[in-house]
């Protein structure tokens, strides 16, 4: 994850929990309360949600000035970047990731 300062604070200040972080970058971040609640109901122990304003710095770092989302792994590496801002895109990624973690080769 690039070091950026949206809203005047380090993005890493928002990423202090050891879990997946779903970040929605938007020109209207306050419109995502329902999405935050929906994700929280589905997998709050696995992932958290933050809506962040698209600033010129964010646009430069990601090459976008329209709404998009980023899913960070617990180690803060990018797992997914998408213009599909829905819990289903995050859910598919997490299901695949968990499937890989739970796969045990036969002896």
Judge whether 107 lies within some domain: no
10's tokens: 């380090």
**CATH number, position 39:** 3.40.30.10
pLDDT along the chain (107 residues), means of 10: 85 86 87 74 76 90 91 88 82 72 45
Distances (CA, A) of 49 to 7, 15, 69, 104: 16, 10, 10, 30
Judge whether 20 lies within some domain: yes
Q: Where are the beta strands (DSSP E) in the chain?
A: 20-26, 47-53, 68-72, 78-82
Instruction: Provide the phi-psi class of 63: left if phi over 0, else alpha when psi is between -120 and 50, else beta.
Output: left
**pLDDT for res 90:** 78
Is the pTM for the entire model greater than 0.85? no
**pLDDT for res 42:** 64
Judge whether 75 lies within some domain: yes
Judge whether 30 lies within some domain: yes
């Amino acid at each position: 994850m690039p070091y950026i300062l949206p809203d005047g604070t380090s993005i890493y200040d928002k990423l202090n929990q050891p879990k997946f972080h779903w970040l929605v970058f938007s020109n209207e971040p306050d419109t995502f309360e329902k999405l935050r609640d929906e994700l929280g109901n589905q997998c709050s122990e696995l992932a958290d949600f933050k809506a962040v304003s698209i600033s010129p710095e964010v646009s430069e770092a990601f090459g976008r000035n329209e709404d998009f989302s980023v899913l960070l792994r617990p180690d803060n590496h990018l797992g997914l970047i998408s213009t599909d801002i829905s819990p289903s895109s995050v859910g598919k990624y997490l299901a695949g990731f968990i499937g890989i973690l739970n796969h045990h080769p036969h002896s």
